[in-house]
A and B are shown apart, each in its own frame.
Chain A
Amino acid sequence: MKNIHWIILGIIFIVTLALEFTVLAGYDSHWWNAIPAFYAIFGFVICYALVYSAKFIAKKIVNRDINYYD
């Protein structure tokens, strides 16, 4: 990833935030709409949680040697 890629992603993110706080300011369909940038936080936190919990499950329970069933 080059810096330019990060800058593009950053700009897109800022645009989504701008839309959230302007166009969607009064939007209230779900309880989590009150939390600013909820979906961004959700994506980041859930991704971390998924990776670490999947690693844990893999290591402790499901991963075996490649020839396990042979």
Chain B
Amino acid sequence: MIEFITIPGVILIIGAAVISLFSERVRPVLFLLFPIIAALVIITRPEGYTVNGSLLNYELVLMQTDSLSNLFGIVFALGALVAGIYAFHMKELGQQISALAYAGGALGVVYAGDLLTLIIYWEIMALASTWLIWARRTPETDASGMRYLIYHILGGGLLFAGILWHSVVEGSILIEAIPMEYTPANILMLLGVAVNTAIIPLHTWLSDAYPKATHTGTIFMSIFTTKTAVYVLIRMFAGWELLIFFGAAMAVYGIYYAVICKDMREILSYHIISQVGYMVCAVGIGTDLALNGAAAHAYNNILYKSLMFMAVTAVMYSAGSSKMFHLGGLYKKLPWVLGLYVVGGLSISGIPLFAGFISKGMVIDAAGYGGHETIMLVLLVASVGTWLSVGLKLPYFTWFDKEEFNGELKPIPVNMYIAMGLLAFACIFYGVFPTALYTFLPFETGYEPYTVYHVVEITQIALLTFVAFWFLRKKLAPELTTVLDLDWFYRKAAPSVRALFVTRVDNFYDRVEDGILALADYLSKKFKNPMLWLNPFTDKRNEASRYSPSMEVVMSFIILSFLVFAIVYLV
């Protein structure tokens, strides 16, 4: 029992239940306590530690540790902690419970040793995270949250179907590397994981929902869902070549939208797709260096992507809008937020001395030296796009462009600054001391990030991209637009589908119901007093209750009998 409740995922899910018992003053502190306990458990458990259980005839591995799970586990626990600090001022119980349960689900997936345990935590993540969208309580977010939930129920269903099929065919539910065979079970599982990885064209839930979630909800969402899925890909689908092409396509697709979009949270959401593309591509390459790169890039991405989301959310919290059209000229009023954002921007763009440099180069090199030079160039195109979109365009039109921001600014709570400061420190720390991360990677590769070639490569790209951006910046000026994506097909199709399967069916049943009621009405009127039509000669005003058979009725029967006899006789 004690082993069960010290599983990191379970600790956070218990935490989600426990915090509901306390007042809103205590809750934010308690919220932080549970990720700390989970992190301590992760640090103290040796590699190879397992907790077993059973369900019906299945032997479950509820927890299993190794270097890969610990790498993701520790960054998820710390991510939940820092996001909790960022959300310290937020008192809403529903969001606190769902955020902690969501983080618990992610940690549960990371330490799950079998597929049934995995799918349970997988679904907890989907359900808990949906509330972070619905909690904004607007018609737009209600609809978006529903689309998000349906998408994840579909993804979870595909994964579960694959797991069941796999368990029947293979006779095992243990999580292990799957050989590259396109069997129905493997395809179903891969599709299920692909939904959460936001592999195009299954990515639209992300770009639809993340920009609409609550202020603090987006931070949690940017940390867990896609990275958990990347973890599962590394664990189960390493070396599946199909992923190389999908990953490279994601990297460029996300970049295009990040260049096109004009809303800060939309830009960063699309950029998640691009960054996850690097990881998916690395998983597809499947070499030790590539898998190390995927894991390290996921780790770093959680640091700098959540830092960037926190910075733009702080701007949104303060200035009241996430649309760059309404912003600009904030550098004098929110200089610290700019500084912290820039640390994230330099990190994600892979600039030397920042965290992204030590992991992105690993993925790009793994492609270049793994016989995929074209893919390497595609990833370099995505690097240019990253620097252009989130490194230059977003901060330029948010903090600069105009002389000064004219609107009212709300003060930013200090806890937000503390959270961003911690992440910015981590981004610089890992950039300067890469071995602090490399030591914990699953494979020993001897990769050296700070070579003259790497530094010259990225510096030249960054410098000349900046020059080109400076010449072209007016072309990227913000405007108020909706940017269509593949979700157009189901969002625009929704009214027609609803018309066909709901409204028309409803109308048909309405008409049938009206017809039956009209018939019932007619018949009840007719049969209310049958004597009226049995005896057409009677007074129409006669009522059944007061009617007594009279001579007319007797005469009617005599004539009727006569007619019947006459007909029979004649025939």
Q: Which of A's residues lie within 8 Å of B, judged by CB?
A: 1, 9, 12-13, 16, 19-20, 23-24, 27, 29-32, 37, 39-44, 46-48, 50-55, 57-58, 61-69
Are B459 and A16 in touch, CB under 8 angstroms?
yes
Are A42 and B384 in touch, CB under 8 angstroms?
yes
Are A63 and B472 in touch, CB under 8 angstroms?
no
Are B481 and A66 in touch, CB under 8 angstroms?
yes
B263 to chain A, nearest CB (A): 10
Given the known inter-chain contacts A27-B453, A29-B368, A64-B484, please indicate yes or no for A40 contacting B460, CB distance below 8 A.
Answer: yes
Of all chain A residues, the one with the shortest Cβ separation from B481 is A63
Q: Which of B's residues lie within 8 Å of A, judged by CB?
A: 255-256, 259-260, 368-369, 373, 376-377, 380-381, 384-385, 388, 452-453, 455-470, 472, 475-476, 480-485, 491
CA A32 to CA B476, docked complex, whole Å: 30
CA A62 to CA B266, docked complex, whole Å: 14
With a cutoff of 8 Å between Cβ atoms, the chain B residues found around residue A16 in the complex are 455-456, 459-460, 463
Are A50 and B388 in touch, CB under 8 angstroms?
yes
With a cutoff of 8 Å between Cβ atoms, the chain A residues found around residue B388 in the complex are 47, 50-51
Are A62 and B260 in touch, CB under 8 angstroms?
yes
From B376, B472, B481, B483, A48 is in contact (CB under 8 Å) with: B472
Are A12 and B463 in touch, CB under 8 angstroms?
yes
Of all chain B residues, the one with the shortest Cβ separation from A63 is B481
A7 to chain B, nearest CB (A): 13
With a cutoff of 8 Å between Cβ atoms, the chain B residues found around residue A61 in the complex are 484
Of all chain B residues, the one with the shortest Cβ separation from A23 is B452
Q: Which 9 A-B pairs have the closest CB atoms?
A: A47-B468, A43-B464, A43-B461, A39-B460, A44-B464, A40-B460, A68-B482, A54-B259, A43-B465
* A-B contacts besides A23-B452, A42-B464, 4 pairs, CB < 8 Å: A42-B380, A43-B461, A58-B260, A63-B260
Of all chain A residues, the one with the shortest Cβ separation from B255 is A50
CA A42 to CA B380, docked complex, whole Å: 9
Given the known inter-chain contacts A16-B456, A20-B456, A58-B483, please indicate yes or no for A43 contacting B384, CB distance below 8 A.
Answer: yes
Given the known inter-chain contacts A39-B457, A41-B464, A42-B384, please indicate yes or no for A54 contacting B482, CB distance below 8 A.
Answer: no
CA A51 to CA B392, docked complex, whole Å: 13
CA A19 to CA B461, docked complex, whole Å: 15
CA A13 to CA B381, docked complex, whole Å: 20
CA A16 to CA B485, docked complex, whole Å: 40
A22 to chain B, nearest CB (A): 9
CA A23 to CA B464, docked complex, whole Å: 21
A43 to chain B, nearest CB (A): 4
CA A29 to CA B381, docked complex, whole Å: 19
A46 to chain B, nearest CB (A): 4
Of all chain A residues, the one with the shortest Cβ separation from B483 is A62
- Which of B376, B377, B464 gathers most chain A CB within 10 Å? B464
Are A44 and B482 in touch, CB under 8 angstroms?
no
Sample (17) of A-B pairs whose CB atoms are under 8 Å apart: A1-B470, A12-B459, A16-B459, A24-B453, A29-B368, A32-B377, A39-B464, A42-B384, A43-B464, A44-B468, A46-B384, A46-B465, A47-B472, A48-B472, A58-B483, A62-B484, A65-B482
